[in-house]
Structure 1
Amino acid sequence: MIKSNYVITILFASLIILFSQTNSAYSELFYDVNTVNFSGKPASAVVNENANVIYVTDFFAGKLVEIDGNTEKISGYINTTKTPFGVGYNPGTDLIYVGGEFANVVKVINAGTKEVEKTIQMNSPYDIAVNSENNLIYITSDRTNSVFVIDGITNEIISKLNVNKPCGIAVNEKTGNVYVTSETDDTVHVFDEKNNLIDVIQVESSPRGVAVNEITNIIYVTNQETNTVSVIDGVENTVIKSIPVGEIPRRIAIQHDANLIYVTNHASNNISVIDGETNSIVKTIPVNAPFEIVINEKTNKLYSMYYGNQAVSVIQNTNQIQDNFNSVTTSNLSNDEKKSIIPIIDTQEFPESNIKVETIADNLKIPWEIDFATDGRIFFTERVGNLRVIENGVISEPIISLKVSGTEGGLLGLALDPDFEENHYLYLYYSYNDFLDIFNRVVRYTESENTLSDETILLDRIPGSNWHDGGRIKFGPDQKLYITTGDASSYNLAQDLNSLAGKILRINSDGTIPKDNPFTDSAIFSYGHRNPQGIDWHPDSGILVASEHGPSGERGRAHDEINVIFSGKNYGWPEIIGDETSEGLENPIIHTGDDTWAPSGASFYDSDKISDWYGKYFVATLRGNHLRMLDLDLENNLVVGSEAILAGEYGRLRNANMGPDGHLYILTSNQDGRGDPAYNDDRILRITPLENNIEKEINPLAPLKQFTLGIHPSDVTCKEGLDLIFKNTSLEPACVKPPTAQKLIQYGWAVNTINK
């Protein structure tokens, strides 16, 4: 788990910034990380800037996958060769070159027709670089200790360069020089435009990736074993600096207009951002296992991938240097505001629901419950027995690890006292083994600086089992602690008022029985439940609503329930299910019939962030693999609307809970043995509105966005202190710092005036 330099959201002024302890000049840089789900194994990529298409090789499927750079969705497939890895694109001829690493061929594909125009026989092609100025394509082959040179017009091999175990390759199209890393020799070979070897530069251990900043003529090389980047002067061919980065740096991409260098740190799960002026790290972007990386310099979006994952990460520098975003730095924050920093690891948009879903924690061990402290910290349980905290943008190691029972039991419920700010009481519900028996208990701790002490057992020996342990605990508007318990796989216990199984319980915060409970000297508030796991109160009426798992064979199947809970009522299990009726037994406001949702945690939406959602009941479903949104008329016991959202997007969902920021938080449960885990499961997700008017007012449009809306390039506005320039090839506008503007103009990349 990444523990520092998160991309974060500060619950302050609704701004997203990148948390960093480095160069304050870059405090305004921040990044959104989105995901393009991938059915295969993405290996490498190249960008066709003219068509705004990203070509990604699918190593196992033998295809080239097209990603639309506007929508960030897969737009097509091109059949290529077995085991495609390296890929290059020649904009001058509109040809794509795909190397079949173990097929020993290079396929030459017409990007327009998507047809293979030629097959070039080549032993173990790996990395590919294209010089579109002189129409030469360079391909490394480590098994033959060679770099093959292909004529881009005839697509014939015209030369072979000798390099021991070549790996990464890059071309400076301005000078014609070619740079090739040798992993075994710890060197970079430099060839001129006539393919003559002109220098061999000693770098550090196991160099792999290489990239050239054509504007500054600086070359950057990743050294995998020393976890550094070598900085090479392209005129003198000498190493001028070594930059420590993350663990196992692999590849490099360069954003020329901003002079930013991006380095994938595979083992650190992040990307280092290097300022090309100072050659120092200014930001770190959390991304899962990044390996390959490319940049679309037309949009300045980065695409990172690893063939061990089934996703391509799309990283958008959402202000770059040129956007007019107001900045907030962590140095200006109070301690409580720093505690409120929330890491944003990934973001996915759902326009059909007008929402986006942010991943704020991943690679968790079956998260079960979440609660929020008034000082900004977020506490959550993992069913395996861990209690963890998100604070200052960092996810802690477990602050307590309990010995718990397994299967459906474990560390389940969590609640912070309504007066947590003063008394720091924290409540847990967990299952434990007592020789051959399983029980559940509710305990209270005193928390101090993420340490627990003074354990007090409030309820104990609640019947438990490998299945049906309930486990949700939550304080109601009456300041009482409500507890859901399952029937412990002994369904008759649900009707037994001498047993705490199959009930919703209600106690005082000290464990005593409230005097107004429906049954004298009993914690029981309602009974006749099979396995209730979600409870919440309507924000206006205060009416309690609970979700409950239906039978799985003992009384039919399915028929999950949503019940309106009243004191002392009997909800029928196992006497009735679904639409069955019996005197004195309550029916659900809705049940699923023969469909199975497996409803778990639930919450009423109590916020104006998404005004249409206010007062609706959200239920996380496990087997249903969706978030159920229910519009309930509780006064008339009617269901006005029922809708599944995020269906199939995040797998099994364990809990839904409102945060103090007014957003809905969701926990996934794909590591519980019944799901199909993604590479970064399990996760904590946050649902926010797709369109945020506050952000729109604070954050004016970026120059390229102004341009695409029809504003003439010369009328584009820049933030104070930045200069407006225009890309020489397309006249697209950009706003950059004055020194960068001078360099871009000097090297012919940009101009500072155009005609209307």
Structure 2
Amino acid sequence: MRPGVVLTVVAALALAGCTDDGGKPGDTLTASPAPSTSSAPPSSMSSTPRPARPPRVVGTIATDLAVPWGLAFLPNGDAVVTERDTRRLLRIHGPDHTVEQVATIDAADPAGEAGLLGIAVSPDFGTDHLLYLYVTTPEDNRIVRATYTRGRLGPLEVVLDGIPNGFIHDGGRLAFGPDGYLYASTGETGVGSLAQDKASLGGKILRITPDGDPAPGNPFPDSPIWSYGHRNVQGLAFDDRDRLWASEFGQNTFDELNLIEPGDNYGWPMVEGRGGQAGLTDPQVVWDPAVASPSGLAYLDGRLWLGSLRGQRLWRIDVGGGHAADPTDFFVGKYGRMRTVAVAPDGRLWVTTSNRDGRGAPVAGDDRILLVDPGSTDSP
């Protein structure tokens, strides 16, 4: 940590599925047939269960973005969004969804999977007005913060630095937990041994105070490390039991959804996917990378929602029963690569595409933020 270090910010002018038969934790999921959109008409008898209503895209929040990566909501319902490669910080005003450029983050050094990545809004934003950003610099990955007041971003202050950086596997997701501490995902930059090295911040999930110190109760003394043995965690989400879930890129065979426990070793690089080895924690669900490459993660009403890049779909996973079950995929191939998922204040989902990241096939209007109605389950 280097408190008080100030970085340059250049202010900018404002701009006026398909279903699967599910599986037990650890099952491998593969592509499934296209979904049927038909359903029987509801019965006139109130005691008869209504058909489940699947998720559907009901609108577009924004278009013509460039690799939107981080997404978080301010207390008033406006959203703040980072673009990985342009280094732009944007604000999306509701309810008309006007896009305003707030700043360009000069400290960011985009290359490959690196750049301006995650964003989190302070739980005390109403009083401290702080935004937290995960930024790749020429030297490292680091977490910085700045005040955001009256439409202006203040100078960046380094909260935690020294996170390994690379052309690939930079992690980058930020999320404040129910405990008020900041959680951050990091990657091992393609050097697998870093994930097992507790002297390195690479290949970990970190837990720190808002000022950047190791949070009280961390499993390793005087360390920000919360869990280790990760290849490249891309999504973090807390459920209504305060459990932390993480989505993670595998290598060639298994992508992962993990339930995170403090101090646990998730096995990389000794194990990819489910290894069943003593001392290592197995994932709850694994996927073939062709249908996943899991990125952003969000929790809503007993379910996790997971964006998939290579898989070009949105996954829904039930976690209400204490473990992950019944993964179901939607919108397969319809919108291209899906990166970030966030629950909006109105209970719907915002999902970003990532077709302009050098690995997609952009069409007119890409990249965009989609508005998704999460649908409903059977109910009387």
TM range (shorter): 0.7 to 0.9
Q: Decide whether aligned partners of structure 1 residues 445 and 577 sit closer, same or farther in structure 2, where only a CA change above 3 A counts.
A: same
Q: Decide whether aligned partners of structure 1 residues 561 and 689 sit closer, same or farther in structure 2, where only a CA change above 3 A counts.
A: closer
Equivalence for 2:137: 432
> Paired residue for 1:549, among 249, 263, 274?
249
Are residues 1:574 and 2:269 paired?
Answer: yes
In 1, distance between residues paired with 2:316 and 2:374? 16
Q: Any conservation in 2 of the 1:382–1:411 contact (CA below 8 Å)?
A: yes
Q: Any conservation in 2 of the 1:559–1:595 contact (CA below 8 Å)?
A: no
Q: Any conservation in 2 of the 1:569–1:585 contact (CA below 8 Å)?
A: yes
Q: Which runs of 4+ in 1 moved over 6 A?
A: none
Equivalence for 2:116: 411
In 2, distance between residues paired with 1:354 and 1:440? 36
The two structures, once aligned, show a CA RMSD in angstroms of 1.9
Equivalence for 2:126: 421
Tell me the CA shift for residue 409 of structure 1: 0.5
Q: How many residues align?
A: 324
Tell me the CA shift for residue 581 of structure 1: 2.3
SS at match of 1:494: helix
Equivalence for 1:623: 310
Tell me the CA shift for residue 478 of structure 1: 0.5
In 2, distance between residues paired with 1:616 and 1:369? 21
Equivalence for 1:388: 90
Are residues 1:400 and 2:116 paired?
Answer: no
In 2, distance between residues paired with 1:659 and 1:587? 31
Equivalence for 2:334: 649
Tell me the CA shift for residue 3 of structure 1: 5.8
Please give the per-residue CA displacement for 1:388-444, whole angstroms capped at 9, x wherever unaligned: 11125321124233342311001000001001111101000011113xxxx100001
Q: Any conservation in 1 of the 2:289–2:311 contact (CA below 8 Å)?
A: no
> Paired residue for 1:488, among 189, 199, 211?
189
SS at match of 1:573: coil
Are residues 1:467 and 2:171 paired?
Answer: no
Please give the per-residue CA displacement for 1:730-751, whole angstroms capped at 9, x wherever unaligned: xxxxxxxxxxxxxxxxxxxxxx
Equivalence for 1:676: 361
Q: Any conservation in 1 of the 2:293–2:310 contact (CA below 8 Å)?
A: yes
Please give the per-residue CA displacement for 1:591-647, whole angstroms capped at 9, x wherever unaligned: 114744100010111xxxxxxxx2111100000000011113563x4x431110111
Equivalence for 2:71: 370
Q: Any conservation in 1 of the 2:55–2:330 contact (CA below 8 Å)?
A: no
Matches within 5 A, 1:547-626: 547-551=247-251, 557-593=252-288, 595-605=290-300, 614-626=301-313
Tell me the CA shift for residue 376 of structure 1: 2.7
Matches within 5 A, 1:644-723: 644-688=329-373
In 2, distance between residues paired with 1:618 and 1:690? 12
Amino acid at match of 2:65: L
Which segments of 5 or more consecutive residues in structure 1 lack a partner in the other structure?
Answer: 5-350, 552-556, 606-613, 692-756
Amino acid at match of 2:313: H
Which segments of 5 or more consecutive residues in structure 2 lack a partner in the other structure?
Answer: 1-13, 17-51
Tell me the CA shift for residue 494 of structure 1: 0.0
Please give the per-residue CA displacement for 1:281-307, whole angstroms capped at 9, x wherever unaligned: xxxxxxxxxxxxxxxxxxxxxxxxxxx
Q: Any conservation in 2 of the 1:527–1:568 contact (CA below 8 Å)?
A: yes
Please give the per-residue CA displacement for 1:249-277, whole angstroms capped at 9, x wherever unaligned: xxxxxxxxxxxxxxxxxxxxxxxxxxxxx
Q: Decide whether aligned partners of structure 1 residues 595 and 3 sit closer, same or farther in structure 2, where only a CA change above 3 A counts.
A: closer
Are residues 1:510 and 2:205 paired?
Answer: no
Tell me the CA shift for residue 357 of structure 1: 2.9
Question: Equivalent pairs: percent with the same residue?
Answer: 40
In 2, distance between residues paired with 1:585 and 1:689? 34
Please give the per-residue CA displacement for 1:309-359, whole angstroms capped at 9, x wherever unaligned: xxxxxxxxxxxxxxxxxxxxxxxxxxxxxxxxxxxxxxxxxx972533311
State TM-score, norm by structure 2: 0.81
In 1, distance between residues paired with 2:303 and 2:289? 24
Q: Any conservation in 2 of the 1:482–1:506 contact (CA below 8 Å)?
A: yes
Tell me the CA shift for residue 468 of structure 1: 0.2
State TM-score, norm by structure 1: 0.42
Tell me the CA shift for residue 504 of structure 1: 0.1
In 1, distance between residues paired with 2:289 and 2:246? 20
Greater percentage in strand: 1
Amino acid at match of 1:479: G
